[in-house]
Structure 1
């Protein structure tokens, strides 16, 4: 799985991921979480969503897992003192999680599946997430929905994939949310972060170069970002598919 994470773990990328919170990216499941629940956050990154679950499970626990030891170390460092029910571990979903069957009441992931390039990999991941889920628990995913500008985002196909690994169609709930960036401060943050990813040496830029995107095209993208950020009326929105599958 580690070879498929094309964005890398640069400061620009992890900074973007750190802006995600339980309220912004997992708000659709917060009302479902019980104080005694054990939650697994798969592909937790810097742990900002993971830590946000902690107050909701005062008698339970939250575990965030990711491929990168560096990112897990950063998540541990960022964790506030006194938050004793949150832990972070390195684990590889595709190689098999080091947990017994039925270990968690809630299994969650946000923006994980675009990094699993094939349908087979996505199904393998979902099977493993389902395996560690307790009967009566639920799996929740937040994924971008494909549109004219963003091709290949898997939000729309997630319900079908969940059915293929054994979830009943009647127990799969499909919802939608929106990620919005508007206002001068939000535009600057969005532009600066993406320009960082396009800088030489960043893993994200290198993935573009490997895909055959030219230096001129990368430069043009950067200029378009700057132009958009300078427009006082500019704003950005992305549709998110919010899927809950009960076991």
Structure 2
């Protein structure tokens, strides 16, 4: 198995946006299945905002958040130090350091799209969930994203993102593949749904635009584009300016859809 490369990297422009995510806006499909006393594993937890939300819902149960980045684990631990029933540790999704049938729920949000072998990851997630437990995954579908007003710069950004992600042997349009991967991993009882983030207010569109402008210039996206000769610095500056221009449109709308699957072990 090749080494996975995270297309976004862990620049503050990435982790700061991820830290705004909540259970309500990112895992609402899972909330009805969470009850006090459960043991939950959050795989690829990032800065831990969703993890902390799970902890509040399952207390006095515990939530374990794992991420492969030591720096991100440290950030999550510091940001959620007051959450007594959440722990954060480094971990490998392909080789989870837990016995079989340890957790009631295993969750991964926007993770599978970055993996070279999402089916192997799902099999490992299935291994550590208890009989009757739930594996819950949610991933965006990049080619299903849409925006208004039209923007040649955002069209170019999408094409470049696809090239970067696919150059990492990953699947940026993961949402449409989730059910297929789940079935290949051996699950038979599934529930598929969809939900979206929408950026259509002045505050939200400016936040989204500025986040992506910074990512285009400074994150792993920029580093990989430059290192592989997929873009020059002037190209990235043009894309960043395109994002910022879109972010000032009073009628701007950006729709970011995800597919989500609940699978029973």
Q: TM-score, normalised on structure 2? A: 0.85
Q: What are the within-5 Å matches in structure 2 for residues 108-187 of structure 1?
A: 108-117=107-116, 121-147=117-143, 152-168=172-188, 171-187=189-205
Note the 1:4-23 alignment, pairs <5 A.
4-23=5-24
After superposition, where does 1:1-247 map in structure 2 within 5 Å?
3-81=4-82, 83-94=83-94, 96-117=95-116, 121-147=117-143, 152-168=172-188, 171-200=189-218, 202-209=219-226, 210=228, 212-247=230-265
Contact 2:213–2:241 (CA<8 Å) still a contact in 1? Answer: no
Distance, in Å, in 1 between the alignment partners of 2:204 and 2:21 is 13
Shift of 1:214: 3.1
Q: Is the 8 A contact 2:104 2:130 kept in 1?
A: yes
Task: After TM superposition, give the deviation of residue 35 of structure 1 in Å.
Answer: 0.8
- Quote how far apart the aligned CAs of 1:77 are: 0.5
What are the Cα deviations for residues 77-99 of structure 1, in whole angstroms up to 9, with x where unaligned?
10152x211000101112x1110
**Which deviations, in whole Å up to 9, do the C-alpha atoms of 1:29-87 show, x marking residues without a partner?**
10111112111000000000000011211231101000011100110110152x21100
In structure 2, distance between residues paired with 1:2 and 1:87: 26
**1:49 alignment partner, SS class:** helix
- Does structure 2 retain, via aligned residues, the 8 Å contact 1:146–1:156? no
> By how many angstroms is 1:100 displaced?
0.1
- Separation in 2, partners of 1:172, 1:208: 37
Q: Which runs of 5+ in 1 are unaligned?
A: none
C-alpha deviation, 1:182, in angstroms = 1.9
- 208-217 or 71-80, which moves further after superposition? 208-217
**Secondary structure of the corresponding residue to residue 4 of structure 1:** coil
* 1:14-36 CA-partner distances (Å, limit 9, x unpaired): 01111111111001110111112
**Inter-partner Cα distance in structure 2 for 1:62 and 1:135:** 18
Gaps of 5+ in 2: 146-157, 163-171
Q: Distance in 1 between matches of 2:239 and 2:142?
A: 20
Aligned length: 239
> Normalised by the size of structure 1, how large is the TM-score?
0.91
How far off is 1:215 after superposition? Answer: 3.1
Separation in structure 1 between the aligned mates of residue 6 and residue 205 of structure 2, nearest angstrom: 26
